Amino acid sequence: MDYFLYLTQMCGIFIILAVGLNLINGMCGQFSLGHAGFWAIGAYTSAAFTVFVAPPLPGFIVLFFGCIIGFITAGIAGLIIGVPCLRLKGDYLAIATLGFGEIIRIVIMNMNSVGGPRGFTGIPQLSNLFWVYLWVVITIVVIANIVRGTHGRAIISIREDEIAAESMGINTFRYKTLAFCVGAGFAGVAGALFSHTTQFISPTNFTFMWSVIILLMIILGGMGSITGAIVGAIILTILPELLRFFGETVSQWRMVIYSIILILLMMIRPTGLFGKHEFNPLKFLKLGGKS
């Protein structure tokens, strides 16, 4: 595949991941460090569907079903993991989700039916620019529409002050779980698109390091901003490629550079680029725009 085409598709996939994680960590304030696990579930279930089960239908229909399967399986995983974990707060929730993310990866690594540690090969390339970005638009519209409604306000109030939210009649556990499952579901979609783009997936694609990279995207962009998540995803997908221009060695120091960026962001600008705000073109051009 053309390299730039590949890069643009990966951008789209990471936008979906970042916007989904932003709903959990940024909007709802629940610190999840296991997002790569849901990504993996979507990737593997959709790939298994395509390779083992799918009837001889046109490619885009198979991919569509793959994405739906990815969404549902990852969403259900979100429910199973969320119900015990979301009773925890702050650091404990982070560690618990990290643990589950790793458990998912270890389980997949032990499943020889999908290739185990050697990976899952032979996935047909059913995805293309159009389908990736169609799902990007769907993800953004769905999540933005949830956020700008009463369910979104409930989710955000949990981040602002959970005790006050409870006192306003909001069932905080229900909405934490909702945010968690929706975020996880879209990570599953991203997984389906990923496996059908790269045609090969293995457990090393879904390590804790990747959960951290997706987290860095939303921290850089601003936790609590959909615009921020999109911008952060684009920057961090393109950055490794830019680093290559500085030579192979610079490129290998990528993770070191990321960790320094992470630390500096927290020390200097913890709100990231956009903070909790969105870039509303109407407001920006002073044409109004309802809040």
Give the binding site for another protein (CB under 8 A): 31, 84-85, 87-88, 90-92, 94-96, 98-100, 102-103, 106, 110, 141-142, 145-146, 149-154, 156-157, 160-161, 163-172, 178, 209, 212, 215, 219, 252-253, 255-256, 258-260, 262-263, 266-267, 270, 276, 291
The closest of 17, 2, 5 to 236, measured between CA atoms, is 17
- Nearest CB to another protein, comparing residues 51 and 95: 95
Burial class (CB in 10 A: 0-12, 13-18, 19+), 64: middle
Least separation, in Å, of the C-beta of 196 and another protein? 25
- Nearest CB to another protein, comparing residues 47 and 229: 229
Least separation, in Å, of the C-beta of 108 and another protein? 13
Q: What is the 3-state secondary structure (H, E, C) of 14-28?
A: HHHHHHHHHHHHHHC
Q: Please tell me the distance from the alpha carbon of residue 204 to that of residue 35, in angstroms, as a whole number.
A: 14
Least separation, in Å, of the C-beta of 51 and another protein? 26
- Nearest CB to another protein, comparing residues 51 and 257: 257
- Nearest CB to another protein, comparing residues 2 and 91: 91
Residues in the chain: 291
Least separation, in Å, of the C-beta of 200 and another protein? 23
Q: Please tell me the distance from the alpha carbon of residue 261 to that of residue 257, in angstroms, as a whole number.
A: 6
Q: Is 120 helix (H, G, I), strand (E, B) or coil?
A: strand
- Nearest CB to another protein, comparing residues 12 and 152: 152
DSSP 285: T
**Within 10 Å of residue 240's Cβ, how many Cβ atoms?**
15
- Nearest CB to another protein, comparing residues 8 and 207: 207
Least separation, in Å, of the C-beta of 176 and another protein? 12
Least separation, in Å, of the C-beta of 100 and another protein? 8
The closest of 222, 256, 258 to 239, measured between CA atoms, is 258
DSSP-assigned letters across all residues of 70-85: HHHHHHHHHHHHHHHH
